[in-house]
Amino acid sequence: MTAENKIKDTVTANDVVLFMKGTKSMPQCGFSSRVAGVLNFMGVEYADVNVLEDQEIRQGIKDYSDWPTIPQLYVKGEFVGGCDIVTEMTLSGELDQLLDKNGVSYDKDAAEKIREANA
């Protein structure tokens, strides 16, 4: 199976997927840690893919999304963005709207706490 097929299978089989350096419980870069931290704090259930374990996936995800950096967040098979975009969407409430629209459960109070802490 090619890296592209593995990636496609992963993003279609899971409502939310984070391609990251490390894992959701042990991120291995600051940007991955920030996005995983937001998702973990908000109680979003998501699949984490450690790109450090597979060089083909690490390069393949960049080609798949046409996005040069990691982490990369997918919701219902659609590429959302990297750390800066996810951070902005969290603070603006757009991430909440995206999760709501796609039927992904999360802790709305936790999302609000993130915004309050960064106001």
Residue 65: the pLDDT is: 96
Domain region containing 93:
3-117
**83 annotated ligand binder:** no
Kindly give the confidence (pLDDT) of every residue in the chain, 119 residues in length, as a single tens digit, with 9 standing for 90 and above.
Answer: 899 999 999 999 999 999 999 999 999 999 999 999 999 999 999 999 999 999 999 999 999 999 999 999 999 999 999 999 999 999 999 999 999 999 999 999 999 999 999 98
- DSSP-derived 3-state class of residue 53: helix
The runs of H, that is alpha helices, within 1-119 are: 3-13, 30-41, 55-65, 83-92, 94-101, 108-117
Please state the domain count of the chain: 1
Residue 95 belongs to domain with CATH number = 3.40.30.10
DSSP assignment, residue 54? -
* pTM above threshold 0.85: yes
